[in-house]
Amino acid sequence: MWRCLMWVAVVSLVFAGAASASVKQGDTELDLLGGFTTQNAASGGVDFESWSVSAALGYFLTDNIQVQGAVTGALTSTTVPQPGTDIDVDVDVWGLGGRAKYHFMPTNQWVPYVGIQLMWVSADVDVSGSAFISDLVDGTMDGTLWGPLVGLRYELNGNNDFYAEYQYQIWDGDIGDIFDDGHTILLGIIHQFK
């Protein structure tokens, strides 16, 4: 009983921060987030689901417009059942690039936003269980990952926000031979340097 009451008190204190302008021109932020991704394979490939992580350093050019430098990564493992033997496909994806976001109602505690991202990505592909497929796709591929995003931030206190984000991801270049498009849902924390 006491543990439950203490947990409620701690959660209440976290969400009881003083509400000032949630975002404003000149703010620099560090974002850390993780989430779940589903990717649709290019023709003849295998769809996959995975956990992913990302980090970004952002700066507000105006009260509404933010630019970010970002990194992202996902480690995936998929088994494709085949007659005789299963094929194991491991794909490790790393990306580096940028995002731009437009924040609506920047003075509110709840701040919705829309944006776009563009990243250079590299994938290490390892196939076991089929020598033929392994010869076709084993190795390193690169290309671009881009697409729109939407999100909602909630100001916890003067320096920290919680946020949820959805990304629609489109793959181009050599990596587009493996992935076509996908969806990612992310949850994260933002720390503002004021």
Residue 171 resides in a domain? yes
Residue 128 resides in a domain? yes
Kindly report the backbone phi and psi dihedral angles of residue 47, in degrees, each rounded to the nearest multiple of 5, phi listed first. Answer: -70, 155
Residues near 159 by beta carbon (within 8 Å), at least 6 away in sequence: 191, 192, 193, 194
Q: Which domain holds residue 66?
A: 25-193
Tell me the CA end-to-end span of the chain in Å, nearest whole number.
39
At residue 132, the 3 state secondary structure works out as: helix
pLDDT tens track for 85-99 = 777 778 889 999 999
Residue 82 resides in a domain? yes
Burial class (CB in 10 A: 0-12, 13-18, 19+), 131: exposed
Residue 133 resides in a domain? yes
What pLDDT shows up at residue 137? Answer: 59
- pLDDT greater than 80 at residue 48: no
| CA gap 62, 103 in Å, rounded | 10
Q: What is the tally of structural domains in the chain?
A: 1
Per-residue pLDDT, averaged over 166-194, amounts to: 90
| CA gap 182, 126 in Å, rounded | 20
Q: What does the mean pLDDT of the chain come to? A: 83
CB 30 within 8 A of CB 191: yes
Q: Determine if residue 178 is left, alpha or beta; phi over 0 gives left, psi from -120 to 50 gives alpha, anything else beta.
A: alpha
Residues near 1 by beta carbon (within 8 Å), at least 6 away in sequence: none
The CATH number assigned to the domain holding 61 equals 2.40.160.20
Residue 1 resides in a domain? no
Per-residue pLDDT, averaged over 29-37, amounts to: 93
pLDDT tens track for 119-171 = 999 988 887 766 545 445 567 889 999 999 999 999 999 899 999 999 999 99
Residue 12 resides in a domain? no
What pLDDT shows up at residue 21? Answer: 59
Residue 188 resides in a domain? yes
Q: Which residue has the higher pLDDT, 1 or 24?
A: 24
Per-residue pLDDT, averaged over 23-52, amounts to: 84
Local confidence band at 114 (pLDDT 50, 70, 90 cut-offs) = very high
Residues near 53 by beta carbon (within 8 Å), at least 6 away in sequence: 33, 34, 72, 73, 74
Burial class (CB in 10 A: 0-12, 13-18, 19+), 79: exposed
The tokens for 119 are 């990243």
Average the pLDDT over each of 16-25, 95-104, 114-123 and give the range with the smallest value: 16-25
The tokens for 28 are 């620099």
What pLDDT shows up at residue 44? Answer: 59
Residue 10 resides in a domain? no
